[in-house]
Amino acid sequence: MEQEEESKEDINKLTLMLDEADMKIIVTNQQTINLLGKTGAGKSTTLCLLSDLVPRVEESDYGEIIIDFDQQEEVKIEIGHSNTSCTTLPNFMNIKGELYWDCPGFCDNKSIMQEIVNLFCIKKIFDSALSYKIVLVISFDTIISSRGRELAETLRQLVEMFPEHNKLFNCLSIIVTKCTNKKYTSNLFVTNLAKMAAENNEFELARPLISKLSTSPDKVAIFRIPNTTSDINEELRNEIKSSVQVSNYEKLIMRNSLSDRAKLAIDRLIELYDLNINEKMSKFAEGLIIKFRSENDMNSLNQGKTALEKFSELFNIENPDIKMFESGMLELCSYFTGSELQAREIKNLTFRIEFYNSYRSPGSPKINLASWISHISTAKSVIEGCINFQNEAEARKQAEKFNKENKKKIDELNKQIENKNSKDNEIMEMMKFMAESNAQRDEANQRMLMEMMESNKKMVLEIANMKPQVIESGGGGCIVI
């Protein structure tokens, strides 16, 4: 019993972690540059470096070099200085108009819950982008230890996550961090990688990708361990930026995998989401009955009846899918509240169920969509038993009587609807403001680019039209410039 309570507590905690992650992830619908890699590889450090933040290099009591950055922003990127990840939630940064995501680690070393949250974050970041570049950050010690076994595991996970290898190569760049070899270069990396792949079968799945990388050292940058702060300079920053610039934006099919223990946790999580949907649908159905019975505007009543009948089509479908359910809810909610907020709240839960369902074990229980629909089916029977849709005069009398007898209940419902609409309007205004801000930024960037091109064009013409000048050199000869 105690273990069951602990399990419930863990699932509730996981739900809160996912809610926090969901709020933090900005749906950009734009091109993004996504940093991926194992826990502790140096993704956050790389992001701070690219952001032109002022670096600090210190030595720990154990002689280890520590890199940190002065961050003035309210939301700071926490940099870990061990193999334990500090990026439990993704970090987002706009660097001179380019959108960067520092994704949580491939194999986080904290817990099953963090593994599930990481999967959710990475999938949502990639799915919400118009297209993206992938920057794979790998630590130098994974290359030189155990014949590159850790590196093989990282690359295996990468190609399993993105099975379209040609597209993956096109959008990929690699940053080798914490490099202790001062003479190590990107050419050496691709050469050594090809050699390891040929000799070690653990690289088998990644061999097609490695074959392409072996001729593309320009996609690789080396981030050496600095001796002093001056080693973290513009030259290093430009080398990393250059490796990112040579890749192309792509949109890939994305897959992922979870441990067996995480799959069991997902079963429990889906049970909780299913329970939440049933609770929301039950309350929605109760409100729907009140809304219909109190409706004395016959046009609105018929509009609601049409939406209800369309949703009712799901009752007769043998295997309705979640998309059908969401579409029907959208129309019902538009009638019920005049906004889509409630439908979006339910869709947020159905999205998570649908998202995690593909990662469950084959023997996991099926999603019981019929139980969600049944609440509306019950409400429809009640509504049809109380309202005479064939006789408008009778329907008005029924509504007037219901309004007199249930004024308090109706006022409470209308207040709830008003609050939902107010909240929905705030969200829509915020989204509109963000869209306008992005449009203004893009317009300003385009204008600045055109001005620079025009300025360069004028400069080239001026140089071309300059008359040659003859200058006498000290040796008696002439120099023409």
Domain covering 28-245 in this structure, CATH number: 3.40.50
Give CA separation, 119 vs 89, 105, 106, in Å. Answer: 11, 9, 8
pTM of the model: 0.66
* Distances 383 to 36, 107, 256, 387, 388 between C-alpha atoms, Å: 53, 52, 45, 6, 9
Mean pLDDT of the chain: 81
What is residue 138's predicted lDDT score, i.e. its pLDDT? Answer: 94
CB 472 within 8 A of CB 478: yes
Confidence of residue 463 (pLDDT cuts 50, 70, 90): low
| The pLDDT value given to residue 15 | 82
Indicate the Cα dihedral angle 307, 311, 312, 316, nearest 10°.
Answer: 150
Domain with CATH 3.40.50 in the chain: 28-245
Q: What residue type is 299 in one-letter code?
A: N
For the segment 183-197, the average pLDDT, to the nearest whole number, is: 93
Average pLDDT of 146-164? 88
* CA-based nearest residue to 220, from 249, 235, 240, 237: 240
pLDDT at 81: 46
> For the segment 340-388, what is each residue's pLDDT rounded down to a tens digit?
677 778 888 888 888 888 778 778 888 888 899 999 999 999 999 999 8
Q: Comparing 390 with 54, which gets the higher pLDDT?
A: 390
Task: Count CB neighbours of 427 within 10 A.
Answer: 13
Q: Is the pLDDT of residue 446 over 60?
A: no
pLDDT, average across residues 205-218:
94
What tokens were used for 148?
Answer: 């590159």
